[in-house]
Amino acid sequence: MFMPPDSRLHLDPQDEYTHAPEAAGNYNESMYFNAFDTARGIGAWMRLGNRPNEGHAEMTCCVYLPDGRVGFMYGRPPISHNEAMDAGGLRFEVLEPFKRLRVSYEGELLIMDDPHAMADPGSAFKRYPKRRAAISLDYEGISPMHGGEIVALDGSRFELDPEHSVYRGHTEQNMAVRGHITVDGVRHEIDGFGYRDKSWGPRHWHSFYWYKWLPVTFDRGFGVLLSVKGRKGGLPNNVSGNVLRNGRYEPVLEGRIATVYDDKYYPVRFTALVRTAERSYTLEGEVGALVPLRHKSAGGEPGAYTRITEGITTYRCEGRTALSMSEYCDVMVNGTPISVLEEPA
């Protein structure tokens, strides 16, 4: 999280619940959860973003089935308030702030044997069948809560430019998760780990230039979160994250990611080097089924848009192996990610 000068983070259990919307038309309050059972080879992620001033939510549900198929659904269900995270069949409940939460979904998923088809969502939704799905997952926080709202040293709020903002406050946490995912009548038990985050404040998706987000929870005592965000004008990247070791966080001081792409610039595998004050870590990732998502034009430049790739990923670090996510977000220029164009030759 980028911290402006003379600022600090304010973390309040009440931030687990919804906030009174700001006046900005693009006010967004969103929660995201993922869940992976490495032994069973199944994973999922769910996001709900309330945009009450625009009159709708953004609902996404994605399930990576053990046979390589992906179930996916996206919608903009209408909402008239910001009093709950509950829209389009997806519901997030806070049972105990920072400790226990519940995720449920009742609805349809588009079942794809080629998730790359989502690069053209109109065609994908015509090509693939929809099947009923039910998700019920209970989450337990196994790490400290990280983040909060960025405020001035005296506690006062900063004025944000809604046209260039991505959030006012942001929190993240490693999780243990149990429950079940049922797709087309087949029930899959879940007993594994995951990650969650929440953000609130004005947001335009195209305000992101590029970032790479690697969240993985190996077990109750070990997890890694690395976030690398690119900045315009050749400025140094913003690097943040934490390594969870035995119940405490080691803040990430340095991090870099070397990625191998395919011919469509979808990440195939990567090596992430992470350094904390206590030690260095090497994180290897191999990307499996990947869903490319597309957002509105970035900056109005011809041939430019924002793409986010969501891939189930096998992570390895210090003899441990776990399934989780890798998320790459880029402004795309004529089919090429801006992060690739800016990488040194």
| CATH architecture of the region 22-203 | Beta Barrel (2.40)
- DSSP string of 29-94, one letter each residue: EEEEEEEEETTTTEEEEEEEEEEGGGTEEEEEEEEE-TTS-EEEEEE--B-S--S-EEETTEEEEE
Q: How many other CB atoms sit within 10 Å of the CB of residue 6? A: 9
183 pLDDT more than 90? yes
pLDDT score, position 257: 98
Instruction: Check residue 231 and give its pLDDT.
Output: 86
201: confidence class by pLDDT, cuts 50, 70, 90: confident
d(CA 149, CA 244): 21
- For strands 90-96 and 42-51, give the pairing: unpaired
Residue 130 to residues 29, 70, 124, 287, 309, Cα–Cα distance (Å): 28, 11, 11, 25, 22
Share of the chain above pLDDT 70, in %: 91
Range with lowest mean pLDDT among 113-117, 152-156, 286-290, 303-307: 152-156
| pLDDT (tens digit per residue) in 159-179 | 666 556 566 789 999 999 999
Distance (Å, whole) CA 324 – CA 199: 20
What is the reported pLDDT for 298? 47
* Interval 72-84: pLDDT, tens: 999 999 999 999 9
The pLDDT score that the predictor gives to residue 296 is 64
**What's the pLDDT at 49?**
95
Between 27 and 281, the more confident residue is 281
**What's the predicted TM-score (pTM) here?**
0.93
Cα(first)–Cα(last) distance of the chain, in Å? Answer: 28
CA distances from 9 to 149, 250, 278, 301, 342 (A): 5, 17, 23, 35, 31
